[in-house]
Amino acid sequence: MLTVESLRKSFGGVTAMNDVSLHFDAGSLTAVIGPNGAGKTTFFNLITGAFPPDGGRVLLDGEDIAGLRAPDIMRRGIGRAFQIASIFPSFTVREAILGAVNARRRWYARVGRRFPLAEAQAQADEVMELVGLSARAAARSGNLSHGDQKLLDIALALALEPRVLLLDEPTAGMGPEERWQMMETVHQLWQRKHMTLIFIEHDMDIVFKYAQTIRVLSYGKVLAEGQPADVRRNAQVIEAYLGAHYKAGDA
């Protein structure tokens, strides 16, 4: 489904991604973890075309998309929601999602129209229902709570009909209860849409509960990968990131 091979990226004299190779199966749910500066967000940026790689390949169903423009990568089926929600604060929730639907279908002349096409409206309603924002459809995006803004950011990515969805710290800035609610929504979304979902997360309790597999980055390299129980017992991961609290037998 999604494979990166020997991915490399440097910024000046700093190596952010150093010969990283990973594979993500279709329909899988994967967490990417690691200390600050490990290269996690750079990894997402390279996959989505925000930055061109210095070397290596990004394969989506066998097609090398490395170096393509971000809109072209999006149209091939990779969507992304950001650590800081990227929304349209003056739009209502419905208007923002309708805009994304129209952009995905290249109905640019319809963006901002007062009376949207029935097909676009139906898709927008479906997306709002998926993320639990139907009751907030008429609310201004900029007036939403932090959690609802994060949900809207995910909804905008979903409106682009991705086959692969990347979530950069979906629970960032939330209180404990809200974090679990967000991840439960994300998990239900993954179950319903059967998409490949990859998320960056610092809350290890959430990671170990929801991820099928975990990939650990450290200093731009792959430190470890595997199922949660295996990663939790990995001595290198404990030393570099998890700490003694997560040694085998703790949870």
Q: In this structure, are 21 and 35 located in the same domain?
A: yes
Check whether residue 47 and residue 167 sit in a common domain. Answer: yes
* Per-residue pLDDT reduced to its tens digit, 148-206: 999 999 999 998 899 999 999 999 989 999 999 999 999 999 999 999 999 999 999 99
CB atoms within 10 A of CB 121: 15
What are 55's strand-pairing partners? 8
Residues 65 and 94 in one domain: no
- Does pTM surpass 0.85? yes
Spatial distance between the Cα atoms of 240 and 3, rounded to a whole number of angstroms? 25
The letter for the amino acid at 177 is E
What is the C-alpha separation between 58 and 45, in angstroms, rounded? 12
CA distance 155 to 131: 7
Strand partners, 168: 200
Q: What is the pLDDT of residue 196?
A: 97
Segment 84-96 mean pLDDT? 85
148 is a domain residue = no
How many degrees, rounded to 5, is the angle at CA 183 between CA 244 and CA 28?
Answer: 85
**Does some domain include residue 157?**
no
Inside any domain, residue 43: yes
Q: Domain total for the chain?
A: 2
67 pLDDT more than 80 = yes
Q: What is the pLDDT of residues 208-247, one digit of tens each?
A: 999 999 999 999 999 999 999 999 999 999 888 877 555 5
Is residue 81 domain-shared with residue 191, that is, in the same domain? Answer: yes
